[in-house]
Amino acid sequence: MKLQDIYRNYRRDLRLIEKELGKSIRTEHRQLNQSAAHLLDAGGKRMRPVFVLLAGKFGDYDIQRLKNVAVPLELIHMASIVHDDVIDDAATRRGKQTVKAKWDNRIAMYTGDYIFARALTIASRIDNPEVHRVLARSMMEMCQGEIEQIRDFFDENQSLIRYLQRIKKKTALLMSVSCQLGGLVSGASPEHVRRLRLYGYYVGMAFQITDDVLDIVGDEKILGKPSGSDLRQGNVTLPVIYVLQRGSEEDRRQILEYLRTKGQRDSIEDILQGIRTSDGIDYAHALADRYLKKAYAVLTRLPQGKARDSLQLIAEFVGRRNY
């Protein structure tokens, strides 16, 4: 089975979710319609809805219930992307103009806020207080993660623990919640829901670490954004932290000079090349693999079947992806 097969197997339900996403962002306000539609049309992997559907297979699968989880979670992800692009001053994402670049920061922020509100409106259809508690807590932590990322911009004194805490809130949390709520609304057993949540967390951590590596070593045409975008914006990721702590004296000097002058001194291309040839890339890959091994271990304690096989395949994709 290939990753595309998973999407193909669920194409009817994913089409329904895509249709619901389109309906959910429509409004009488012309400007919001345009900016929200622009974001939706940019596409994406739709991993969070897929996680919801697969987790739903461990209980009583009902797409009419699951869509009220899958759609809000994807909307929350979309809203966080819009806000992210404002914070990072990003002009492109997936090779297309961001909302803030096509319009401006104010439109982008209001678009993100509107999409967040739509997510909560749709989630209110779910008659389960635990779902609402999980969503509310997760959105709060995601916002905290964004604030922490801003706080840490151009900060040379970052630890591994601080980095991991940040990416948990930024990325892993929503993937974990997608798996958790898919199981929860389907009536899966508490133990299965707990294991699904852990699987999503481990895969989410590996996903973001891999993303941070690709930002440095990936192909710009495939990524749809300039190489080294994170460091250009002051976001100090794991490969950079490794070089700061264990790299050569020259590589450390260049990065420190860059961070202390907020990108005004030293060539970013020279710095990126130093990171690429350091052990920081292998170190980050190894840590991502450790998280994936934990994900595989959790899966072995879930019932065998196509859903578990698909979750295994997604984890394997995360480990080898180049986009």
Check whether 1 has a pLDDT greater than 70.
no
Q: Report the C-alpha dihedral over residues 227, 211, 314, 221, rounded to 10 degrees.
A: -10
- Tokens representing 57? 């297979």
CB 116 within 8 Å of CB 146: no
Which CATH number is 263's domain given? 1.10.600.10
Q: How far apart are CA 94 and CA 211, in angstroms?
A: 13
CA 296 remoteness from chain centre: 20
Check whether 292 has a pLDDT greater than 90.
yes
pLDDT (tens digit, 9 = 90+) per residue, 60-87? 999 999 999 999 999 999 999 898 888 8
Q: Where are the alpha helices (DSSP H) in the chain?
A: 3-9, 11-25, 30-41, 47-56, 63-88, 99-102, 105-123, 129-152, 160-167, 173-185, 190-217, 220-223, 229-232, 238-246, 249-260, 268-276, 280-299, 306-320
> Rounded to two decimals, what is the model's pTM?
0.93
Structurally, how many domains does the chain consist of? 1
Return the residue matching tokens 């045409």: 221
Q: Note the pLDDT of residue 321.
A: 78
Please state, rounded to an integer, the average pLDDT across all residues of the chain.
92
Q: How far apart are CA 197 and CA 60, in angstroms?
A: 17
Return the residue matching tokens 């490969």: 239
Q: Of 171, 176, 180, whose CA–CA distance to 131 is shortest?
A: 180
CB 103 within 8 Å of CB 110: no
Q: How far apart are CA 73 and CA 55, in angstroms?
A: 14
pLDDT (tens digit, 9 = 90+) per residue, 84-116? 888 877 888 777 889 999 999 999 999 999 999
Range of the domain at 257: 3-320
